A and B are shown apart, each in its own frame.
Chain A
């Protein structure tokens, strides 16, 4: 028997040596990386701005005629300015000092070719552009089918960026060659996107020499990579990490509000939410403050209207700050015929007030549904939660009638309040079945009008009507949690996230 023990020991020893050897080897292999700036984010990368446009734009590789400033307004980009020469015709004047990364000059003809590709794509199906033409060498005209004020905002989108003809071979996009402060170097879908500094950039030349965007799907992994100095910036971290990260040495945390809301959409065509009193009652019954303080760790803010007043003056300043009023909710429900008997759940004509809320399985929505369940129970509404995957939810609510669903939407992904039409016009995209002629008319007028003040009045009016009619009940705003290594200096989060602003970022001690 002792013999055998010796064997085991030898094996164990061998195994330990091997194990330690592998780890040591692993240690040596790590750290073969000399990229200046590494960003971890969950969104996938690709070379085509029509498919995976946002990383290319945010890194500063691609640029469009129109940019977006830090007040979330369209601002000069490759076009120095634009004019609405006729109701349905716009002229954009190009910068005269721009060359593409491949040396090609920016001319009106190049812009027309590039934009035509964009306009023909499905992404632009909702934008009524009928013609794009070069007026002279540095002026591009865009014509629309109907008067369309949000045009510049749409031309600022990540899929409307301008590409050099050299980007294509036989009509196929091979490399995104644009004009930004960084030059595309390589991409591996599902993994990473690399770019290097554009030393000939017409604007401020970045101090960072090279940048790598890594696709890191898991948020805990992003955080650990940042803590292990494998990233300089980790984006979209969970709210619950904020307080921990703030106490961590060597890490800075940013919590900018972004134009996105979480909300409950009602089916206004079927019982019980065909009655606006009932919809309003739900809106009054929700304590948004408690909601954000509990499941969202106080990082996100409560919201009442579809546009955040902190973000832009398109938001209606006259909306009530808080809607929470459970007594009013009870009163409205009583009026609508849903009364409390001996049971806790309200009834009408012998039918219990039971509703099903569908939420998709993203981040915080199922938890928010839980909180709603508790809060609505207080006013006698029995809420059942169904959590499904996003595609299934869309499928359900677009084809059948439903009670309500919980979702989140970006409100300024093109920086124009015309987005409200997607939400509240009777032809909108939310499947709530809400039809209000006044709202439709206001939205249609505002889309056509040129005068900003007149547009503003109409959009404010729309917001106050829809908060009253409540086809949706807005619950919370949205905060992006971004953390960087402490050496990162000069980072300013952009309100619509159109850019990471890397050209102004410095790495201390370099």
Chain B
């Protein structure tokens, strides 16, 4: 895990380093409203250690991180950890809600699609999934606001704080993911339904419903769990757009604003948190395997 984190941080640090745009110049320009003098740029660089070679910059940042100090934003006087703590809960809330929406949609639809393979049910769900994948997030967001908020008056258009604020963004972000997962559940389910042990179960006279839900679905979910874990990244990148449309202050908006402002400590902080989230999700995925497939656990014990 620490190797992954170190790799990610080194890579982003490197990318940020080669990005066009001198942070000293850009930030001073923004603060003063006019181009800074060379002396001011030099002073800023010295203050923030931007003069030093890449490796020593990275190492000093890294040693700070290990001591729990993520640095201070170039722009605001707040520390990066404060900013992250402020923005992270909103994004987590959105990501989890979107995951719930997508799974609640995708698993039943995928299973029904597979069971009723090549019927109208299957085709409708396939078309819906295609639509879901193709529909840009921001567009779906606007549509939902127009219909649900403006026409029906059920939810506020945007903002954050209450459950009602979360409904539309979660649906917006969740449906895109649901479309992908539905197709995956369907494929995986079809494969499993043709497996020999399913035939065995059927031939033993187990009822079809039990075959599908007890024997087949559980096995079919293993690849699905893997992909859902990986799709967490999709949720975060989608969150950028959704956060802007629904006026939710979150990591996505924080990151984009920081990149444009060349606020590198904040960029690093957000990337680090994202990487941690990825690593944790992967751990959870592994745990889910064990829950779904007892053989994996036995293997570990041996």
User: Do A224 and B159 have beta carbons less than 8 Å apart?
Assistant: no
B149-171 with Cβ < 8 A to chain A: 149-150, 153-160, 162-164, 167
Contact of B28 among A22, A122, A429 (CB under 8 A): A122
Contact of B156 among A24, A46, A51, A228 (CB under 8 A): A228
Contact of B249 among A32, A191, A413, A422 (CB under 8 A): A191
Task: Across the interface, name the chain A residue whose C-beta is closest to B28.
Answer: A122
User: Do A26 and B158 have beta carbons less than 8 Å apart?
Assistant: no
Contacts of A460 in B (CB 8 A): none
Task: Across the interface, name the chain A residue whose C-beta is closest to B142.
Answer: A220
Contact of A123 among B31, B156, B246, B254 (CB under 8 A): B31
Contacts of A214 in B (CB 8 A): 159, 247
User: Do B76 and A398 have beta carbons less than 8 Å apart?
Assistant: no
User: Do B164 and A30 have beta carbons less than 8 Å apart?
Assistant: yes
User: Do B156 and A30 have beta carbons less than 8 Å apart?
Assistant: yes
Contact of B145 among A28, A31, A224 (CB under 8 A): A224
Contact of B157 among A26, A172, A221 (CB under 8 A): A221
B14 lies within 8 A of chain A by Cβ: no
Distance (whole angstroms) from the CB of A242 to the closest CB of chain B: 19
Contact of A217 among B32, B36, B253 (CB under 8 A): B253
Task: Across the interface, name the chain B residue whose C-beta is closest to A31.
Answer: B156
Q: A8-B112, A51-B77, A394-B29 are in contact. Are A228 and B157 (CB under 8 A)?
A: yes
Docked complex Cα distance between A26 and B76 (Å): 35
Docked complex Cα distance between A44 and B83 (Å): 14
Q: A32-B162, A224-B150 are in contact. Are A23 and B155 (CB under 8 A)?
A: yes
Contacts of A396 in B (CB 8 A): 20
Docked complex Cα distance between A1 and B119 (Å): 15
Q: A30-B155, A228-B156, A422-B34 are in contact. Are A391 and B146 (CB under 8 A)?
A: no
Docked complex Cα distance between A144 and B263 (Å): 34
Docked complex Cα distance between A206 and B291 (Å): 63
Distance (whole angstroms) from the CB of A17 to the closest CB of chain B: 13
B104 lies within 8 A of chain A by Cβ: yes
Task: Across the interface, name the chain A residue whose C-beta is closest to B213.
Answer: A7
Contacts of B262 in A (CB 8 A): 391
Distance (whole angstroms) from the CB of A261 to the closest CB of chain B: 16
B274 lies within 8 A of chain A by Cβ: no
Contacts of A413 in B (CB 8 A): 33
Q: A391-B260, A395-B22 are in contact. Are A23 and B167 (CB under 8 A)?
A: yes
B40 lies within 8 A of chain A by Cβ: yes
Docked complex Cα distance between A23 and B244 (Å): 22
User: Do B86 and A189 have beta carbons less than 8 Å apart?
Assistant: yes
Contacts of A3 in B (CB 8 A): 209
A405-444 with Cβ < 8 A to chain B: 413, 422, 429, 431
Main secondary structure of the interface of B (DSSP, over half): helix
User: Do A394 and B167 have beta carbons less than 8 Å apart?
Assistant: no
B247-268 vs A, CB cutoff 8 Å, 1 = contact: the mask equals 1010001100100111000000
Distance (whole angstroms) from the CB of B199 to the closest CB of chain A: 18
Contacts of B159 in A (CB 8 A): 214, 230
User: Do A190 and B87 have beta carbons less than 8 Å apart?
Assistant: yes
B7 lies within 8 A of chain A by Cβ: no
Docked complex Cα distance between A183 and B254 (Å): 28
Task: Across the interface, name the chain B residue whose C-beta is closest to A361.
Answer: B260
Docked complex Cα distance between A225 and B78 (Å): 30
Contacts of B249 in A (CB 8 A): 188-191, 215
Residue among B28, B33, B40, B146 with max Cβ neighbours from chain A (10 Å): B33
Task: Across the interface, name the chain A residue whose C-beta is closest to B262.
Answer: A391
Docked complex Cα distance between A46 and B262 (Å): 19
A1-19 with Cβ < 8 A to chain B: 1, 3-4, 7-8, 11, 15
Docked complex Cα distance between A391 and B257 (Å): 12
B89 lies within 8 A of chain A by Cβ: no
Q: A224-B145, A230-B157 are in contact. Are A216 and B247 (CB under 8 A)?
A: yes
Interface size for A (C-beta < 8 A) is 55
User: Do B150 and A228 have beta carbons less than 8 Å apart?
Assistant: yes
B290 lies within 8 A of chain A by Cβ: no
User: Do A227 and B164 have beta carbons less than 8 Å apart?
Assistant: no
A241-285 with Cβ < 8 A to chain B: none
Contacts of A188 in B (CB 8 A): 86, 249
User: Do B247 and A218 have beta carbons less than 8 Å apart?
Assistant: yes
Docked complex Cα distance between A98 and B32 (Å): 30
User: Do B25 and A221 have beta carbons less than 8 Å apart?
Assistant: no
B35 lies within 8 A of chain A by Cβ: yes
Contacts of A189 in B (CB 8 A): 76, 78, 86, 249
Q: A26-B163, A26-B167, A221-B245 are in contact. Are A398 and B25 (CB under 8 A)?
A: yes
User: Do B26 and A394 have beta carbons less than 8 Å apart?
Assistant: yes
Distance (whole angstroms) from the CB of B28 to the closest CB of chain A: 6
Distance (whole angstroms) from the CB of A103 to the closest CB of chain B: 27
Contacts of A28 in B (CB 8 A): 164
Residue among B35, B87, B157, B261 with max Cβ neighbours from chain A (10 Å): B157
Distance (whole angstroms) from the CB of B185 to the closest CB of chain A: 15
Q: A216-B247, A230-B156 are in contact. Are A122 and B32 (CB under 8 A)?
A: yes
B1-54 with Cβ < 8 A to chain A: 20-22, 25-26, 28-29, 31-37, 40
A123-165 vs B, CB cutoff 8 Å, 1 = contact: the mask equals 1011000000000000000000000000000000000000000
User: Do A27 and B163 have beta carbons less than 8 Å apart?
Assistant: no
Q: A23-B155, A214-B247 are in contact. Are A391 and B26 (CB under 8 A)?
A: yes
Task: Across the interface, name the chain B residue whose C-beta is closest to A29.
Answer: B164
Contacts of A8 in B (CB 8 A): 112
User: Do A224 and B149 have beta carbons less than 8 Å apart?
Assistant: yes
B188-215 with Cβ < 8 A to chain A: 208-209
B64 lies within 8 A of chain A by Cβ: no
B108 lies within 8 A of chain A by Cβ: yes
Contacts of A24 in B (CB 8 A): 154
Distance (whole angstroms) from the CB of A441 to the closest CB of chain B: 21
Docked complex Cα distance between A11 and B209 (Å): 14
Contacts of A26 in B (CB 8 A): 154-155, 163-164, 167
A85 lies within 8 A of chain B by Cβ: no
Distance (whole angstroms) from the CB of B76 to the closest CB of chain A: 6
Docked complex Cα distance between A221 and B86 (Å): 22
Contacts of B25 in A (CB 8 A): 394-395, 398
B82-119 vs A, CB cutoff 8 Å, 1 = contact: the mask equals 00001100000000000000001000100010010000
User: Do B86 and A228 have beta carbons less than 8 Å apart?
Assistant: no
Q: A122-B40, A216-B247 are in contact. Are A25 and B34 (CB under 8 A)?
A: no
Contacts of A29 in B (CB 8 A): 162-164
Q: List 6 A-B contacts (CB under 8 A).
A: A122-B40, A190-B86, A218-B244, A221-B245, A224-B158, A391-B260
7 closest A-B pairs by beta carbon, nearest first, are: A26-B164, A190-B249, A29-B164, A391-B21, A391-B26, A29-B162, A395-B21
**Contacts A29-B164, A230-B158 supplied; 19 other A-B pairs, CB < 8 Å:** A3-B209, A4-B208, A24-B154, A26-B167, A28-B164, A31-B156, A48-B77, A51-B76, A122-B32, A123-B32, A189-B76, A189-B78, A215-B249, A216-B158, A220-B142, A225-B158, A230-B159, A395-B26, A398-B35
